[in-house]
A and B are shown apart, each in its own frame.
Chain A
Amino acid sequence: MSTPTTRARVSLPRPTPVQRLGLLLGSIAFLVPLLVEIPGLAPAGHRMLAIFLLAILLWVTEAIPLYATAMLVILLQVLMLSDQALFGGVGPLTSAASYFAALANPVIILFLGGFLIADGAHKFGLDRNLAAVMLRPFAGNARTSVLGLMAITALLSMFVSNTATAATMFAVVIPILAALPAGPARTGVALAIPVAANVGGIGTPVGSPPNAIALGALEASGQGVSFIGWMLLAVPLMLVVLLFAWWFLTRRYIAADTPLTLQLSADFDRSPAAILFYLIAGATVLLWLTEPFHGISSSTVGFLPVVALLATQVMGADDIRRLQWPVLWLVAGGIALGAGIGNSGLDAWLVGLVAWDALPLTLLLFLLVGVSLGLSTVISNSATANLLVPLALSLAIGLPIDPTAVGVMVALACALAMALPISTPPNAVAYATGEVQTREMVVSGIVIGGFGALLLALVMPTVWGALGLL
């Protein structure tokens, strides 16, 4: 008897009340700028405002999947704001191809390289082996072990997605948790991982999608930042926040004399494929770090491992299929949205709404960081960056501050939002272990995120200026 072919049974999810509300308000918000004449806004700006309002409501309520909203943004821009628009009459419009091209934006190519290296690191067990080797010096005491765990988590998270880092580290840590006495010590360890994964993601351009969204928008406005340039801007903040988080979490949850031995065995894959992978990944990271010497842009460097890994068959078609395409589309949608806001003149109109220059700069930056932090606490970090980066960059036009600082600040602020299980996927994983109560996550998220945000808004611009980075 043969196995019958089973058809996949797709059951449509029932929309939640919030999602219904999102669809309803989104449709209304979409129609208003198309039906109502707004003084001071160009005709193309009206159409872009409609798309932008719809995107806000769909991304905030997740009425449709985040990546679907991103694709919808691109489609609507093509149908309403390109040379293929269904209705003309709003002046010259850019080509439809330029909106579609968002998916091949250099930043997406950079991410493609980052994703493939991250997937390879997991495929060849490099992530766990590095964790095992790096944790050895920290063994013995629970507080120092947590420092070690946070350091390796943050380092991995700089190159691997925050979610994958948290998943890998929790796979390592869950057996260790069982060795600790139930209670605060376990909570402390289970909180340290997502905090380090979230904060580590700011370290490099490939660390998390908001970085890519900010980079893409900055590049579009001619303010590109190199790989190492980004690291110089973000790593100091990352290190200080990590150290503070370690101090706070260990003082609050882990008694000084708690013993904890992390004995992980490293077993490096020495097959020819694995060695080729190490070489290609190592060369890529080296080239990323040395851009000022050779001048090859980080996106081009990011494409090298893609070609090299596939040509040598270290990785194959399955690995391409497994890439996180939804994330790439979400970033692409953000890039297209930013481009549309700039092209249609919506940016200038939005900035003109408020006399921003009447407000002190510090207060403005504080507000910007606060809004990014607040929004990305309740919705996706990437969706927050998609919405706020274009706004922040428009705002920067009229301010006595480098736009790069503003773009980077929004991306970094998104990563600092970690007060709820829904704030980021690493938080969701920590919560799922059952060792962390929501209340504890709120406390640590507010303290650590708040500390980071204050530093980011009040101190970092001065630091960047003093170091001559901007």
Chain B
Amino acid sequence: MKLALLILEDERPVREALRRDLASFARHVRIEEAEDVPTALEVIEEIDTAGDRLALVMVDHRLPGTSGVDFLIGLADDDRTAAARKVLVTGQADQEDTIRAINEAGLDRYVAKPWQADALCDMVRDQLTAFVVAAGVDPLPHLAVLDAERALSIVRERGDL
């Protein structure tokens, strides 16, 4: 089982920039891209079918068709994706959208464009760890992309079975 990270962003250069800045995660995390909501839902289906777990979605708000915030609200209602950490990566969400994202989708982080690569990596590591802790996933296979201290604190509670 791999942890999966979904980037939902309609502008190709932005998707590529995100993927490039997150390249250090690519060896251990399944990184998927989608340009609109229907594609994103297909990708989620694929992830689920392959037995992987959607751990983190990074979503732009302004998309053709359904908005990023509405997509996140939909995820919060779906059993397969409710546990996924939700991040808005945007420069254009107004206050009302942001309030809805926080209150109705349980938004975890807001990243304003343009982002700093280092801070982005730290945020992704932090959110993947939060997912593993909350979802009760065995952290050991994913240790390389997690905050080791928090991941190991799950392991220490197991005892010598």
Closest to B28 in A: A434
Q: Is the CB of A425 within 8 A of B158?
A: yes
- Whole-angstrom CA separation of A324 from B157 in the bound complex: 7
Residues of B within 8 A of A (CB): 79, 82, 103-104, 106, 140-141, 143-144, 148-149, 152-153, 155-161
6 closest Cβ pairs, A-B complex: A324-B159, A167-B156, A432-B140, A164-B156, A167-B152, A327-B159
* A227 CB within 8 Å of chain B: no
Report A56 CB to chain B, min CB distance, Å.
17
Q: Is the CB of B82 within 8 A of A164?
A: no
Closest to A122 in B: B156
Q: Is the CB of B158 within 8 A of A163?
A: yes
Q: Is the CB of A434 within 8 A of B159?
A: no
Q: Is the CB of B143 within 8 A of A163?
A: no
- Whole-angstrom CA separation of A162 from B79 in the bound complex: 36
Q: A330's contact among B152, B153, B161, by CB below 8 Å, is which?
A: B161
Q: Is the CB of A66 within 8 A of B153?
A: no
Q: Is the CB of B152 within 8 A of A171?
A: yes
Closest to B106 in A: A3
Taking CB atoms and an 8 Å cut-off, the chain A residues in 93-110 that contact chain B are none
Determine the chain B residues whose CB is within 8 A of the CB of A433 once the complex forms: 143-144
- Whole-angstrom CA separation of A424 from B159 in the bound complex: 11
23 A-B pairs with C-beta separation under 8 A? A9-B79, A122-B156, A161-B159, A161-B160, A163-B156, A163-B158, A163-B159, A164-B157, A167-B152, A167-B153, A168-B152, A171-B148, A324-B157, A324-B158, A425-B161, A428-B140, A429-B140, A429-B152, A429-B155, A431-B140, A432-B141, A432-B144, A433-B144
Task: With A168-B156, A201-B160, A432-B144 given, name 11 new contacts (CB 8 A).
Answer: A163-B156, A167-B156, A171-B149, A174-B148, A381-B160, A425-B158, A425-B160, A429-B140, A429-B152, A429-B155, A431-B140
Report B131 CB to chain A, min CB distance, Å.
15
Q: Is the CB of B140 within 8 A of A326?
A: no
* A372 CB within 8 Å of chain B: no
Report B153 CB to chain A, min CB distance, Å.
7
- Whole-angstrom CA separation of A322 from B157 in the bound complex: 8
* A204 CB within 8 Å of chain B: no
Determine the chain A residues whose CB is within 8 A of the CB of B152 once the complex forms: 167-168, 170-171, 429
Q: Which of B82, B143, B144 has its CB near the most chain A CB atoms (within 10 A)?
A: B143
- Whole-angstrom CA separation of A115 from B79 in the bound complex: 36
Q: Is the CB of B149 within 8 A of A326?
A: no
Q: Is the CB of A380 within 8 A of B159?
A: no
- Whole-angstrom CA separation of A201 from B141 in the bound complex: 25
Chain B interface, DSSP helix/strand/loop, else mixed:
helix
Report A207 CB to chain B, min CB distance, Å.
9
Instruction: Tally chain A residues at the interface, Cβ within 8 Å.
Output: 37
Closest to B159 in A: A324
Residues of A within 8 A of B (CB): 1, 3, 6, 9, 66-67, 115, 122, 161-164, 166-168, 170-171, 174, 201, 208-209, 322, 324, 326-327, 330, 380-382, 424-425, 428-429, 431-434
Closest to B142 in A: A432
Determine the chain A residues whose CB is within 8 A of the CB of B143 once the complex forms: 432-434
Determine the chain B residues whose CB is within 8 A of the CB of A324 once the complex forms: 157-159
Q: Is the CB of A1 within 8 A of B103?
A: yes
Q: Is the CB of B161 within 8 A of A67?
A: yes
Report A159 CB to chain B, min CB distance, Å.
13
Question: Contacts A6-B82, A9-B79: A164 and B140 contacting too (C-beta < 8 A)?
Answer: no
- Whole-angstrom CA separation of A433 from B155 in the bound complex: 13
Determine the chain B residues whose CB is within 8 A of the CB of A170 once the complex forms: 148, 152
- Whole-angstrom CA separation of A174 from B144 in the bound complex: 10
Report B100 CB to chain A, min CB distance, Å.
10
Report A328 CB to chain B, min CB distance, Å.
9
Determine the chain B residues whose CB is within 8 A of the CB of A424 once the complex forms: 160
Q: Is the CB of A162 within 8 A of B161?
A: no
Q: Is the CB of B104 within 8 A of A208?
A: no
Determine the chain A residues whose CB is within 8 A of the CB of B82 once the complex forms: 6
Closest to A428 in B: B140
- Whole-angstrom CA separation of A166 from B154 in the bound complex: 12
- Whole-angstrom CA separation of A115 from B157 in the bound complex: 10
- Whole-angstrom CA separation of A167 from B155 in the bound complex: 7
Report B13 CB to chain A, min CB distance, Å.
32
Q: Which of B82, B143, B156 has its CB near the most chain A CB atoms (within 10 A)?
A: B156
Determine the chain B residues whose CB is within 8 A of the CB of A9 once the complex forms: 79
- Whole-angstrom CA separation of A268 from B158 in the bound complex: 26
Closest to A177 in B: B148
Report B99 CB to chain A, min CB distance, Å.
11
Closest to B135 in A: A9
- Whole-angstrom CA separation of A137 from B159 in the bound complex: 30
- Whole-angstrom CA separation of A9 from B136 in the bound complex: 11
Q: Which of B104, B143, B157, B160 has its CB near the most chain A CB atoms (within 10 A)?
A: B160
